[in-house]
Structure 1
Amino acid sequence: MKKINIGGVPEHFNLAWYLTLKERSYEKKGINLRWKDYPGGTGAMCKALRNKKIDLAVILTEGIIKDIIAGNPAKIVQTYVKSPLIWGIHVAADASYNTIEDLEGTKAAISRYGSGSHLMAYINAENNDWDTDKLNFEVINNLEGAIDGLNKGKGDYFMWEHFTTKPLVDQGIFKRVADCPTPWPCFVIAVRSELLEEDEETVKTILEIINEMTAQFKDIPNIDEEIATRYEQQLEDVQKWLSLTEWSQEIIDEKTIHKVQDKLLSLEIIPEKWEYEELTHKVL
């Protein structure tokens, strides 16, 4: 049986993977797929791909594009979620900041450099006409680090997915001052180039299984209740999230690849643009 390691954030977006694993869908095709949670997000998964700790990653589009250009030997094989990711912008509950304008010139808490929380701080700054050269950062590793850090003055604001952090806002741990949606599809599936060269057929089988699940995910009976229970969310929040989220079963298109790179290049996050074929691989 072929052993394959895959990583992703422990969030509701990836419940489809859990369900296919629970059904032993991969085992039935001779694949021992092992899931690993990465609470640290995209930056941690980029490192794991480089170190061969994982073979596939369900990862933020902008983060993996940046890291492939920086030398990560991987390719994007598919868009996983084609709708934008809604990043909530959070401060400590007792902070004096109440609007996005209050945060100009303050320090952004990020999970790590190269992570989504790092890159989206630039997008948010540009959206609000801030000087991106004056952005300051404090590394706090993950969401747990932000919960501890923001309330101790380690960074002033923290960007993380809106619905994941909603319970923390409800509990009065964070205060949300604004949202910042990504200007492109949020999650893609990336694969180590070595695996694509050695065993593309296994990758194809994995994609076929997960795509069948995501295509009918919203139609699963009581899926909203399962998500609410598993991820400790309010049912109405889950239902809103489901209404906003669209999965994909297709390879990312060339226009999107150029759009992401144009933005990253303008913000001086990448040194140059790469061709579509250098960043992607169509599994046949």
Structure 2
Amino acid sequence: MVLRVGYVHEHFSSPVLQLAEADNGKTFTLTSCPGGTGQLIAALTNNEVDVAIALTDALITGIARGSTAYKLVGSYVSTPLNWAVITGAQSEYQSIADLRGTTIGISRPGSGSQTVASVMAMNQGWFEPEGDNKVEKLKFKVNDNLEGLNASVNDGSTSAFLWEWFTTKPHADAGEVRFIGSVPTPWPSWLIAAHPSADRAPPAELRAFLQSLTQYARAFDAPEKRQGDNVEFIKSVFGYPEEDVRAWMQTVGYVNDCSVIDSNVLQTTLSILEQAGVVEKPAGGFEIKDFVHSAPGVTRLQ
């Protein structure tokens, strides 16, 4: 069986793109989801992909809210994601504080652009007036992808949106939008999820994919690759300026084993998402094992 793997066509995906080139469709194919993790979760739900490489917080949120379309099977990027807070080129907003009470653009419901906006509100101390430390509910407008989000902050239908810093930096450099702040995630940024059905994602195929991806992630993470090959690859595939690529390479790290999930990452992320009002803890608390694929030999929860 050939796995259908969903991903976001950004620089973080370089190792999986290199693996896909070597695999040449023998064991898996790639499906690009420009709408981000919200689109990836929808693709898993709608039987369009079997595996997704997606954002930690949005994947965990989906399961915490009851999604049965996927379970976590592995880890990918070990470092945080730096979300730029982005507004229109000529908008009135000059700082994150100016955004309170406005409408924030998101790609899709349940996306990282939505969950991290709520973390931003928590960090800013935007609480409900009752005084019970509940983060106030933000107003959101769905704009599908980066193109729609850029348009929304410039036509005034939203005040701002959040997206990964280096992905959006070329738009800011071109004067299309402005950065007014950033929100680094307090968790490692990317995990791997798969449909729980053995018909959609057989354990043997999952195991082989994670093992192969581990090899390519380790190779990409090697110090000698960071100075030369990685830079040239990202420049050629994504067209980013070399100075931006080298700056990003100083901030990113990949896991040593894609089949391992750190239980502390899940617990910490859930705790912060609960504080931010993104998820609600059930009466008995969250069971970490319920978030992880149960097929033997696929995933190790540490």
> How does the TM-score come out when normalised to structure 1?
0.93
Cα distance in 1 between the residues matched to 2:185 and 2:161: 15
Cα distance in 2 between the residues matched to 1:41 and 1:173: 21
User: Given the alignment, which residue of 95, 99, 109 partners 2:105?
Assistant: 109
Count of residues in Structure 1 that have an aligned counterpart in Structure 2: 279
- Shift in Å, 1:264: 1.9
1:26-105 alignment to 2 at 5 Å? 27=26, 31=27, 33-69=28-64, 70-105=66-101
Partner of 1:238: 245
CA contact (8 A) 2:194 2:201 kept: no
- Shift in Å, 1:233: 1.1
Q: 1:56 is matched by which residue type in structure 2?
A: V
Partner of 2:262: 253
> Which deviations, in whole Å up to 9, do the C-alpha atoms of 1:19-71 show, x marking residues without a partner?
111112762xxx2x110110111111111111221110001111111112322
How well do the aligned residues superpose, as a CA RMSD in angstroms? 1.8
Structure 2 segments unaligned to the other structure (5+ residues): 128-134
- Shift in Å, 1:106: 1.9
> 2:11 aligned with 1:18, yes or no?
no
Distance 1:235 1:197, change over 3 A: closer
Please state whether the residue corresponding to 1:121 is helix, strand or coil. helix
> Which deviations, in whole Å up to 9, do the C-alpha atoms of 1:92-113 show, x marking residues without a partner?
0111212222222222111111
1:155-194 alignment to 2 at 5 Å? 155-194=158-197
Please state whether the residue corresponding to 1:155 is helix, strand or coil. coil
After the TM superposition, list the runs of 4 or more consecutive aligned residues in structure 1 that deviate by more than 4 angstroms: none
Cα distance in 1 between the residues matched to 2:180 and 2:199: 43
CA contact (8 A) 2:103 2:141 kept: yes
CA contact (8 A) 1:167 1:232 kept: no
Q: 2:33 is matched by which residue type in structure 1?
A: Y
Greater CA deviation, 50-59 or 245-254? 245-254
- Shift in Å, 1:157: 0.4
> Which deviations, in whole Å up to 9, do the C-alpha atoms of 1:60-88 show, x marking residues without a partner?
11111111232233211111001001000
- Shift in Å, 1:266: 2.4
Q: 1:19 is matched by which residue type in structure 2?
A: Q
CA contact (8 A) 1:107 1:135 kept: yes
- Shift in Å, 1:137: 1.1
> Which deviations, in whole Å up to 9, do the C-alpha atoms of 1:174-222 show, x marking residues without a partner?
1001110110011000011113897211111111111101101044343
User: Given the alignment, which residue of 144, 151, 158 partners 1:148?
Assistant: 151
Partner of 1:280: 292
Please state whether the residue corresponding to 1:261 is helix, strand or coil. helix
Cα distance in 2 between the residues matched to 1:196 and 1:265: 33
Distance 1:53 1:198, change over 3 A: closer
Q: 2:93 is matched by which residue type in structure 1?
A: Y
